[in-house]
């Protein structure tokens, strides 16, 4: 990073606005919430997991469907789904021998849509 670009990120003088610091401290997330949010965004930061979540906004899909969609092995999809399930982003249901996956709730799709709206504004 160039020195000029680094300097442009700093204040012109050193002063602490205590009221703003106190406000931020009073409104900060708990450690548990911070960790869970970080795991959520990390999970959604993986391109294949994000593609899975996006595909599931339309309809539920089985591992075979998702593997065909992503053009990867069913084993790779199962690994990704396990991570998404551990974060409560997806859930599944069994119909005979087939296990269907779906988004756990509409918060997931809304989060993706909001992020998509944000990047499309640029």
Question: What are the residues facing 61 on neighbouring strands?
Answer: 101
Pairing of strands 61-62, 90-95: unpaired
Half-sphere exposure of 16 (CA within 13 A, CB side): 5
- Is residue 3 over pLDDT 70? no
pLDDT per position as a tens digit, 23-55: 999 999 999 999 999 999 998 999 999 999 999
Section 94-101 average pLDDT: 96
As a whole number of angstroms, the distance between CA 70 and CA 66 comes to: 6
Question: What are the residues facing 114 on neighbouring strands?
Answer: none
Domain boundaries, the chain: 16-120
- Tell me the CATH number for domain 16-120: 1.10.10.10
As a whole number of angstroms, the distance between CA 106 and CA 56 comes to: 11
Alpha helices in 8-46 (DSSP H): 18-26, 31-44
- 32 burial (CB, 10 Å; 0-12 / 13-18 / 19+) is exposed
As a whole number of angstroms, the distance between CA 23 and CA 15 comes to: 16
pTM of the model: 0.79
As a whole number of angstroms, the distance between CA 50 and CA 90 comes to: 12
């Amino acid at each position: 990073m160039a020195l000029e670009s680094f300097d442009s990120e700093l204040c012109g003088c050193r002063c602490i606005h205590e009221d703003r610091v106190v406000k931020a401290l009073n409104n900060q997330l708990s450690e548990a919430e911070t960790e869970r949010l970080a795991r959520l965004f990390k999970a959604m930061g993986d391109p294949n997991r994000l593609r899975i979540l996006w595909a599931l906004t339309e309809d539920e899909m089985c591992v075979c469907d998702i593997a065909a969609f992503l053009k990867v092995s069913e084993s790779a999809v199962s690994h990704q789904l396990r991570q998404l399930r551990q974060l409560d982003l997806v859930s599944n249901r069994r119909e005979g021998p087939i296990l269907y996956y779906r988004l756990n709730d509409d918060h997931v799709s809304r989060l993706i849509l909001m992020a998509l709206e944000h990047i499309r504004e640029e």
